[in-house]
Structure 1
Amino acid sequence: MLFTLLAFAVAIGLLVTIHELGHYWIARRCGVHIERFSFGFGKVLAKYTDKRGCEWAFSALPLGGYVMMRNQAPLNATQAEIDASFDNKTVWQRAAITVAGPVANLILAVLIYALIGLVGTQEPAAILGQPAADTPAAYAHVQAGDTVVGVNDKNIASWSQFRWQMLDSLSTGGVVNIQTQDALSNSRTYEIDLPKAQIKPDAPDLLAEAGFRLAMPHAKVQRIIEGGAAEAAGLLAGDVIVGLNDIPEPSANDFVSAVQNLAGQTVQLQILRDGQRLSIDAHVRAEQTPEGEQVGRIGILVGADLPMVTVRYGPLDSVVQGVSRTADTFWLSLKMIARMVTGDVSVKNISGPVSIADYAGQSARIGLASYLHFLALISVSIGLLNLLPIPMLDGGHLLYYAVEVVRGRPLSEKWQNHGRRIGLGILAALMMLAFVNDFVRLFS
């Protein structure tokens, strides 16, 4: 729990601070006086004032921060003080300051994705398993063992990239072209007609429902148990088991289950060792479990031989990939919001702080790369949500500025207040829905 809360605090603290720094930086460029920039909320623990008169505060609750600008000049203000107030700036300057926060979040996402691409990650190769019957993949005669190299002519390097590129098509339906290569590097293109599906948190995996699943990894010998049957038969750590009697290509689970049911028998193992296929006979020893049940043991620790690929790009390509992934995430998220309005995507997908904290903790436990992916995704989400034309959000202010440009003068304070009340009501309803969804997930 403590680890999850820490991962959540770091994520929200970083992303909100970057957002506010975006506002701060452009406000400075536009000559607006900044009265305070606070790291965190609540009681101020420490502070100092810089030479421009901005108070930098460090507060007790480290969940982001805020920037406080001089909105209006005080009474009896000098001309310099009037010029340094936010309300005295042109509509284009005010719009630039407002949009800078969401843009800062999007830039952060680009940098995170670029960093991931530059450092490189180990990911499962996009090798397809046998499609289930009566699925779109089966109707298209997708071949097990093929490696996906492209979706709609966009290059694919790993299984996670394949899942990402398929997400939009799986939800909206329609024809998608998948390019693959077989073990002999022969190219194939499959035209898959996908049905439209509704995205729900508790729905089955849409990719699996379409007939696409990762090829089951072979069983691989991780360790030889001293004095066991495997040692006597000549098995070595690193051997990949590609056959057990008449069972071809057994997975780790299949292998263990089969051996347990063959107590006292001699089995024929087909293995790969240093690229060579070998046949080895091994006697399965019968052993008693603590419950008195007799099971077969062969004397090895078996694991999964999952083919992995290193996804890494050069400096320039990493930035290009970062921009592309951020744009794709932004556009897909925007379409999902639109489809929630039309009812094609369930509002159950809306997550609140409880779910976000849970995702933060889970991704951090998996590893740094996973946590960075989480940060980039949430950063894009914060940028997008703040650009929605809802009063009280940055997008609502931009909407007011757009009306001001068209009318040639700002909306009256009366109508702006009406808009704020509407925006506050919308945000309160969304927050309540998010909390309900969180607790339904928590207790279901």
Structure 2
Amino acid sequence: MNLLIELLAFAVAIGVLVVVHEYGHYSVARLCGVKVLRFSIGFGRPLFQWVSPKTGTEWTIAALPLGGYVKMLDERETGTEPIPADALPHAFNRQPVWRRFAIVAAGPVANFLLAIVLFALVFATGVTEPAAVIAAPAPNTPAAVAGFDGGETIVAVRAGEASESEPVRSWSDLRWKLLGAAFDHKRVVLSAKDAHGTSDFQLDLRGLTEKDVDDDFMSHLGFEPGGGKLTVAGVQPGSAAQKAGLVTGDRLRAVDGTPTDNATAFIAYVKSHAGKPVMLQVERGGQAGQAGKLEDVSVVPQSQRDETTGQQIGRIGAELATQVPSIDVHYGPVESLQLGAHRTWDLAVYSVRMFGRMIIGEASLKNLSGPVTIADYAGKSARLGPSAFLSFLALVSISLGVLNLLPIPVLDGGHLLYYLVEAVTGKVVSDRWQLVFQRAGLACIVALSAIALFNDLARLIHF
């Protein structure tokens, strides 16, 4: 059943993105007076064809649905059959360079516009997100150095030299604002509320390396969602947790005297205490709206070899569940569009930066994903609900737009580069050089596809 959901979600996602991208080319071509011969969704043998009596365009759905294309009237693609003289003004190659540029750029632009609309829909209809409440940070992390104790709700952020703050509405909002500041290596001021009022915390992101931003940088900074309930969801037979007397339903309140409300931090602490006694404070027997009885439980994590690092780590054999406080975030129509445009811009810039860093070796090529990973995330987001799926669709639409704008021949960006050269020099790039660049561009695309597919397979079989 999960496989069926993934395949259906993947088909819907690819179908929508391809139609929007190609319709961008089609609509601007029509506005520029260029005759469109065929609008195809997919490649290969046609499954369905219909010719518009008004425009003469052949609309096609083909057997292989991984892409699409718009075929325009062009003297370079007619073979031995010449174009009638009265149709020549409507040929793509006869258009001024700025029109050809607009037609080619319209596909990626359509993907960005789709992302803005999708994000705006998510913001306008409302989305439930974790609140920006932080757990107790690990020692010596930037959050701990800044003075956070855990339990604070971050309400605003501003650059160190700025006078105005931007509100923080949710954990996702906080993450995006810190990601932008981390990329720019800025010092920021976070305003946070706790039981004693609102305080400002200086967070210095200037010392972060590119690898720090590559990884889960929120955890690296010491920020984990907090303020919720960390409970035992299951206990493995014969485990250290069972021997210590932990049972399903126990709420973990503290570890060695330090309050805990985050599974990641708790697991990290247990891993670092292999074979050493750990004192847990647990709450048991509480009814709805009433606190349970607090008890101390001593557990000795069993030492096991970590397959990834080869080091000995501690495990207690308990399944954990975290229930963090959430918030319903709603925006008005105008603000939703503004936020949609801002989120689309941030993601597009982030994608370009990440790709640039992969080229110069500052970021891992493992960040590339192929159709298997896209299908997996399409299915997961679809199961989470409409808001998650629309957000996923917007993210992939931005990635498709950025990818197509890369200055690689065979992609839209390669053609745009040709037109820029033509606009500057007044000369069309020769067919000979276009053929050379096209072969090089095709080699780049094949290499990128192979790396993405390898990463997909590596994620599936975990090697």
TM-score by length of 1: 0.80
Q: 2:436 aligns with which of 418, 435, 438?
A: 418
Counterpart check, 1:9 vs 2:11: yes
Deviation (angstroms), 1:6? 1.8
Structure 2 equivalent of residue 390 of structure 1: 408
Does structure 2 retain, via aligned residues, the 8 Å contact 1:179–1:190?
Answer: no
Counterpart check, 1:209 vs 2:220: yes
State how 1:68-79 maps to structure 2 within 5 Å: 68-72=71-75, 75=81, 77-79=83-85
Structure 1 equivalent of residue 188 of structure 2: 176
Counterpart check, 1:363 vs 2:366: no
State how 1:44-443 maps to structure 2 within 5 Å: 44-51=46-53, 52-72=55-75, 75=81, 77-152=83-158, 153-170=165-182, 173-183=185-195, 185-193=197-205, 195-199=207-211, 205-218=216-229, 273=289, 305-443=323-461
Gap regions ≥5 residues in structure 2: 159-164, 232-250, 267-282, 296-319
Does structure 2 retain, via aligned residues, the 8 Å contact 1:123–1:158?
Answer: yes
Deviation (angstroms), 1:44? 1.7
Label 1:269 to 1:333 Cα distance change in 2 as closer, same or farther (>3 A): same
Label 1:81 to 1:341 Cα distance change in 2 as closer, same or farther (>3 A): same
Does structure 1 retain, via aligned residues, the 8 Å contact 2:229–2:324?
Answer: yes
Deviations along 1:189-229, one digit per CA (max 9) or x if unpaired, are 3333453244499x863211211111151369xxxxxxxxx
Deviations along 1:109-168, one digit per CA (max 9) or x if unpaired, are 000000000100011100011111111111111131211123333322111121222234
Deviation (angstroms), 1:279? 6.6
Counterparts of 2:343 and 2:294 in 1: how far apart (Å)? 50
Deviation (angstroms), 1:173? 4.4
- Say which is worse superposed, 5-14 or 302-311, in terms of deviation: 302-311
Give the AA of the match of 2:417: L
Does structure 2 retain, via aligned residues, the 8 Å contact 1:170–1:195?
Answer: no
Deviation (angstroms), 1:169? 4.0
Deviations along 1:328-353, one digit per CA (max 9) or x if unpaired, are 11111111112222322111111112
Counterparts of 1:321 and 1:172 in 2: how far apart (Å)? 20
Structure 2 equivalent of residue 230 of structure 1: none
Deviation (angstroms), 1:442? 1.9
Counterparts of 2:90 and 2:211 in 1: how far apart (Å)? 48
Give the AA of the match of 1:432: A
Does structure 2 retain, via aligned residues, the 8 Å contact 1:200–1:345?
Answer: no
Counterparts of 1:111 and 1:130 in 2: how far apart (Å)? 37
Counterparts of 1:176 and 1:352 in 2: how far apart (Å)? 35
Counterparts of 1:352 and 1:268 in 2: how far apart (Å)? 46
Query: What SS does structure 1 have at the residue aligned with 2:75?
Result: coil
Deviations along 1:261-306, one digit per CA (max 9) or x if unpaired, are xxxxxx8978894xxxx677699xxxxxxxxxxxxxxxxxx98653
Deviations along 1:403-423, one digit per CA (max 9) or x if unpaired, are 111111201111111111111
Label 1:200 to 1:36 Cα distance change in 2 as closer, same or farther (>3 A): farther
Give the AA of the match of 2:352: L
Give the AA of the match of 1:4: E
Label 1:44 to 1:154 Cα distance change in 2 as closer, same or farther (>3 A): same
Deviation (angstroms), 1:242? 10
Counterparts of 1:442 and 1:303 in 2: how far apart (Å)? 25
Gap regions ≥5 residues in structure 1: 221-240, 255-266, 284-301
Structure 2 equivalent of residue 22 of structure 1: 24
Structure 2 equivalent of residue 223 of structure 1: none
Deviation (angstroms), 1:100? 0.2
- Say which is worse superposed, 344-353 or 371-380, in terms of deviation: 344-353
Give the AA of the match of 1:334: V
Does structure 1 retain, via aligned residues, the 8 Å contact 2:75–2:82?
Answer: no
Deviation (angstroms), 1:186? 1.8
Counterparts of 1:321 and 1:359 in 2: how far apart (Å)? 23
Deviations along 1:313-342, one digit per CA (max 9) or x if unpaired, are 001111001110001111111111122223
Deviation (angstroms), 1:65? 2.5
Query: What SS does structure 2 have at the residue aligned with 1:321?
Result: helix
Query: What SS does structure 1 have at the residue aligned with 2:113?
Result: helix
Label 1:90 to 1:193 Cα distance change in 2 as closer, same or farther (>3 A): closer
Give 1 or 2 for the bigger CA radius of gyration.
1
Counterparts of 1:426 and 1:282 in 2: how far apart (Å)? 61
Query: What SS does structure 2 have at the residue aligned with 1:186?
Result: strand
Counterparts of 1:368 and 1:183 in 2: how far apart (Å)? 36
Counterparts of 2:325 and 2:177 in 1: how far apart (Å)? 20
Query: What SS does structure 2 have at the residue aligned with 1:10?
Result: helix
Counterparts of 1:29 and 1:268 in 2: how far apart (Å)? 69
Does structure 2 retain, via aligned residues, the 8 Å contact 1:218–1:249?
Answer: no
Does structure 2 retain, via aligned residues, the 8 Å contact 1:171–1:197?
Answer: no
Query: What SS does structure 1 have at the residue aligned with 2:112?
Result: helix
Does structure 2 retain, via aligned residues, the 8 Å contact 1:360–1:371?
Answer: yes
Deviation (angstroms), 1:172? 6.1
Counterparts of 2:135 and 2:229 in 1: how far apart (Å)? 12
Percent identical:
41
Query: What SS does structure 2 have at the residue aligned with 1:441?
Result: helix
